[in-house]
Amino acid sequence: MEAASTCGKRLEQVKKLTDQLIALRKSALKGGMNHEQLRETLEESSPASGTGTFAVLRHGFVGRRTNPSHCVHLIVALGGVLSVALLVGNYELVRDYIRRTPCLVDFGYFSDEIVRPLLDCEMCRKLNAVAIERNLSQETFAEKYAYSGIPVLVKEGIVNWSAMSVFSFKYFQGLYTLTGRRANLCQFFAYNTEFTTLTDALNGISDERASCQPGEKPWYFGWSNCHSGVEKQLRKHFQLPDFLPANTEDTPMDWIFMGSPGPGAPLHIDTVERPSWQAQVSGRKTWQLVPSPECEAVCHSFNFTVEKGDIMFVDTNAWYHSTFVHPGEISIAIGSEIV
């Protein structure tokens, strides 16, 4: 726990190092390495390579597999190793170092920024607000938003979901008592909590804290569900948004983000396959979208607020994003990637 909070306090250092790593990536590309070689170098280092784990992980920095006690030394050591490797032009040094590292997912955060293909900044040029739609049709969605990188907020997009009255902290607590610790096989994002697994978070947050009683610590966490029994239960209470094309296949992986008023997810970019929708079932949450570094000169950051009943759609692989929950109800949001 101590190490985890130390990691949190180092976010500024992390940002500095990320900038250095971006510069490193640019130098490596300039020096003749291509994106493929960079990605291979880093992916080969992962014990999970070949298993598809890389593609499934969403947020490298706070992923389930993080070993927080290693992340501070890694951040520092990695900067050193990469700098030396760059100076001597020895990329194998990087590969060897990564092979031995036990802090895979923390490293993944940086490696994503280093090897992420550069974005085509046309997608965000001139954009300085989220697009707002009501009654968004499947045709308009497909034409304007599905793969354009343009984020859209669909006001009152939730139609007749019992999730709006059923989902609560207590509901999820009850749901996951049935699964036991098997629920922890999927990803958990500790964000603004001291827990390392979903079941610890659900069991460790008292009723008083869950309902934001005065003097209680704020909390916020997220997880993906890969338990089929839970999926069945959840899907009784929501459907895929109407604006998704009829041939959209269901993705089995639901993502849930839940927490009290205060900070939500810290600024990050994802490495998932596709853009995602997210429905605000309870509370009010503001999203901050920030263009990736290569687009900073032509694109802008902006915020937008998702109210209870709204559905947003954004390519979380293309925009850095963070969230903040407004005072009032706890925030509960559910979503998935489009197929």
Ligand X SMILES: O=C(O)CCC(=O)C(=O)O
Residues forming contacts to Fe ion in the complex (CB under 5 A) are 270, 316
Q: What is the CA radius of gyration of the chain?
A: 20
By beta-carbon proximity to Fe ion, the closer residue of 45 and 192 is 192
Query: Going along 104-219, which residue ranges are E strands?
Result: 131-133, 152-154, 188-189
Nearer Cβ to ligand X (86/201): 201
In terms of CB distance, is 45 or 278 closer to ligand X? 278
224 binds, among ligand X, Fe ion, none (CB under 5 to 8 A by kind): none
Report how far residue 265's alpha carbon sits from residue 256's, in angstroms, rounded to the nearest whole number: 12
Smaller CB distance to ligand X: residue 97 or 112? 112
Q: Nearest approach, Cβ of 286 to ligand X (angstroms)? A: 10
Binding window for ligand X (CB under 6 A); candidates: 8-16, 116-124, 211-219, 315-323: 315-323
Q: How far is the CB of 289 from Fe ion (least distance, A)?
A: 11
Min dist CB 279 to ligand X, Å, is 11
Determine if 276 is a binding residue for ligand X (CB under 6 A): yes
Q: Which is nearer to ligand X, 70 or 285 (CB)?
A: 285
Nearer to Fe ion, 24 or 266 (CB): 266
Show Cβ contacts of residue 77 under 8 Å, excluding neighbours closer than 6 positions.
97
Binds ligand X by CB under 6 A, chosen from 150, 201, 265, 281: 265
**How far is C-alpha 328 from the chain's CA centre?**
24
Sequence length of the chain is: 339
DSSP structural state of residue 263: E
Residues 6 or more apart in contact with residue 121 via CB below 8 angstroms:
291, 294, 295, 297, 298, 299
Asked if residue 264 binds ligand X (CB under 6 A), the reply is: yes
Residue type, 104: L
Integer Cα distance of 178 and 173 in angstroms: 9
For residue 260, the minimal CB distance to Fe ion (Å) is 19
Q: According to the binding rule CB under 6 A, does residue 318 interact with ligand X?
A: no
The residue count for binding ligand X (CB under 6 A) is 12
Residue pair 274/312 in contact by the 8 Å Cβ criterion? no
Stretch of residues binding ligand X (CB under 6 A), selected from 8-16, 111-119, 257-265, 297-305 = 257-265
Q: What's the CA gap between 165 and 282, in Å, rounded? A: 9
Task: Quote the CA–CA distance of 300 and 298 in Å, as a whole number.
Answer: 7
In the bound complex, what is the minimum distance in angstroms from residue 314's beta carbon to Fe ion?
A: 9
Burial class of 92 by CB neighbour count within 10 A (0 to 12, 13 to 18, 19+)? exposed
Q: How far is the CB of 278 from ligand X (least distance, A)?
A: 6
Residue 333 beta carbon to ligand X: minimum distance, rounded to whole angstroms: 5
Task: State the Cα–Cα distance between residues 256 and 333, nearest whole angstrom.
Answer: 6
Q: Does 257 bind ligand X (CB under 6 A)?
A: yes
220-225 and 188-189: which strand pairing?
antiparallel
Query: Which parts of 208-237 interact with ligand X (CB under 6 A)?
Result: 222
Nearest to 324 by CA among 280, 283, 286: 286
- Among 227, 284, 308, 321, indicate the residue that binds ligand X (CB under 6 A): 321
Q: Which of residues 59-88 bind ligand X (CB under 6 A)?
A: none
Minimum CB distance to ligand X smaller for 265 or for 330: 265
CA pair distance 258, 281, nearest whole angstrom: 10
**Site for ligand X, rule CB under 6 A:** 222, 255, 257, 264-265, 270, 276, 278, 316, 321, 323, 333
